[in-house]
C-alpha cells in the first residue's frame, strides 16, 4: 500500500520559491450525530492534477469534496484552496472559491423550471457576465462538448438520466474554472457516453491545465484518466497513489474493491 502520508504535503504558508499547493485538506474530521464520517483526511493537490476518489458507497466521498467548496464545514481540520482558508470564510465570502472551483453534483441538481441552456448559463450570470452573445456562444460551446446542443430547449424533466448528467457537466465546465469536482460523472451513461466524458476531462487537463477531482465507481475510467487515486475507507484515506501503484497494491482491502469482490464490507 502506498503511504498516504508520503504525498506532497506543502505548507499553505510555504516560504518563497516553494510551490504552493492548490488544494489542501489537513486533518479534516466530520461527524453527523454519532456517525464519524471523516476521521482525519489529509490530501494535497497541485495545479493540473487529476485525482480520482474511489471507495464503497456511503463512506463519505461526497461529504469530502463538498468541504472543498465550503458546502460542508469540518468539525476540525483545515481546507485551503489556492491559499484561501475555506473553512474560515463565511457563506457571503465564498464567491472567489466558487469561481475557482465548480462542481458537478451527484444527480446533477438541475433547476427544473429552467431549460437546458438556461441551466448551463446559470454560473455565467451568477458571476456577473451580462453580454448575451458571449453567454450564447459559451453555452453552445459547453453543450457541444457534451453532445447536447440539439436538446438545449428542453426542460430537465424531459431528459434521460444521462442527459441530465451531461447538462450538469456542461454547467460545471462553462465558466472555465481552474478546478472541477465531478461527483460520479459516468454513472447513468452508456459506455460511449462515459468515454466522451473521460476524453473531455483529459482534454481540459491538457489544454487548460484544469485540476480535476472525480468521484467514481467506474474503475475503467480511473485507469484512463487519473494521475493519482485516493480510496476512502472507514473515514480514512486507505490508499493514495498512482494508478500503477493501485494495480500493484498488496493491500487486500484495496485489491478487493478494485477487483469488485464483495467481502469488503464484512
Cell representation of residue 121 = 448559463
- Report 161-190 residues binding Mg ion (CB under 5 A): none
Q: Which residue is nearest to Mg ion (CB)?
A: 62
Cell representation of residue 66 = 463538498
**CB neighbour list of residue 30: distance below 8 Å, 6 or more residues apart:** 36, 37, 38, 60, 63, 67, 72, 74, 75
Specify the DSSP element, H or E, that contains 236. Answer: strand 236-241
**24 near Mg ion (CB under 5 A):** no
**CB neighbour list of residue 151: distance below 8 Å, 6 or more residues apart:** 116, 159, 163
**68 near ligand ATP (CB under 6 A):** no
**216 near Mg ion (CB under 5 A):** no
User: d(Cα 242, Cα 227) in Å, to the nearest integer?
Assistant: 6
SS3 label, residue 25:
strand
**63 near ligand ATP (CB under 6 A):** yes
User: d(Cα 112, Cα 118) in Å, to the nearest integer?
Assistant: 10
Tally the residues of the chain: 266
**59 near ligand ATP (CB under 6 A):** yes
- Report 26-45 residues binding ligand ATP (CB under 6 A): 32, 37
Q: Which stretch binds ligand ATP (CB under 6 A): 51-59, 162-170, 174-182, 205-213?
A: 51-59
User: d(Cα 39, Cα 234) in Å, to the nearest integer?
Assistant: 8
The site map against Mg ion for 96-135 (x = CB under 5 A) is ----------x-----------------------------
- Report 81-110 residues binding ligand ATP (CB under 6 A): 106
In the block, cell 473521460 appears at 198
Residue 57 contacts which entry, Mg ion, ligand ATP, none (Cβ below 5-8 A, type-dependent): ligand ATP
**62 near Mg ion (CB under 5 A):** yes
Residue 250 contacts which entry, Mg ion, ligand ATP, none (Cβ below 5-8 A, type-dependent): none
Nearest-approach distance from CB 58 to ligand ATP, in angstroms = 5
Specify the DSSP element, H or E, that contains 257. Answer: helix 252-258
**218 near ligand ATP (CB under 6 A):** no
Q: Please pick, from the candidates 7, 23, 24, 60, the single residue that binds ligand ATP as defined by CB under 6 A.
A: 60
Nearer CB in complex with ligand ATP: 62/115: 62
Q: Please pick, from the candidates 5, 6, 34, 57, the single residue that binds ligand ATP as defined by CB under 6 A.
A: 57
SS3 label, residue 120:
helix
Nearest-approach distance from CB 152 to Mg ion, in angstroms = 28
User: d(Cα 22, Cα 177) in Å, to the nearest integer?
Assistant: 13
Q: Give buried/exposed letters for 118-141 (b at 16+ CB in 10 A, else e).
A: bbbbbbbeeeeeeeeeebeebbee
Residues in contact with ligand ATP by the rule CB under 6 A: 32, 37, 55, 57-63, 106
Amino acid at each position: 500500500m502506498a503511504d498516504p502520508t508520503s504525498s506532497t504535503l506543502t505548507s499553505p504558508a510555504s516560504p518563497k520559491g516553494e510551490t504552493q499547493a492548490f488544494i489542501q485538506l489537513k486533518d479534516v474530521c466530520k461527524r453527523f450525530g454519532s456517525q464519524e464520517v471523516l476521521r482525519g483526511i489529509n490530501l494535497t493537490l497541485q495545479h493540473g492534477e487529476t485525482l480520482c476518489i474511489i471507495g464503497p458507497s456511503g463512506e463519505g466521498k461526497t461529504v469530502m469534496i463538498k468541504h472543498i467548496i465550503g458546502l460542508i464545514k469540518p468539525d476540525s481540520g483545515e481546507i485551503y484552496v489556492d491559499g484561501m482558508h475555506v473553512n474560515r470564510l463565511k457563506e457571503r465570502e465564498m464567491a472567489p472559491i466558487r469561481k475557482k472551483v465548480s462542481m458537478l453534483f451527484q444527480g446533477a441538481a438541475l433547476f427544473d423550471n429552467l431549460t437546458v441552456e438556461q441551466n448551463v448559463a446559470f454560473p455565467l450570470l451568477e458571476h456577473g457576465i451580462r453580454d448575451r452573445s458571449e453567454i450564447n456562444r459559451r453555452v453552445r460551446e459547453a453543450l457541444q462538448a457534451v453532445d447536447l446542443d440539439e436538446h438545449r430547449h428542453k426542460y430537465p424533466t424531459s431528459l434521460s438520466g444521462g442527459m441530465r448528467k451531461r447538462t450538469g457537466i456542461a454547467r460545471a465546465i462553462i465558466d472555465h474554472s481552474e478546478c472541477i469536482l465531478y461527483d460520479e460523472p459516468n454513472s447513468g451513461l452508456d459506455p460511449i457516453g462515459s468515454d466522451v466524458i473521460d476524453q473531455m476531462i483529459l482534454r481540459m487537463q491538457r489544454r487548460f491545465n484544469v485540476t480535476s477531482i472525480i468521484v467514481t465507481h467506474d474503475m475503467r475510467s480511473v485507469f484512463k484518466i487519473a494521475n493519482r487515486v485516493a480510496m476512502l475507507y472507514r473515514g480514512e484515506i486507505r490508499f493514495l497513489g498512482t494508478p500503477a501503484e493501485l494495480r500493484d497494491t498488496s493491500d487486500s482491502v484495496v485489491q478487493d474493491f478494485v477487483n469488485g469482490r464483495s467481502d469488503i464490507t464484512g
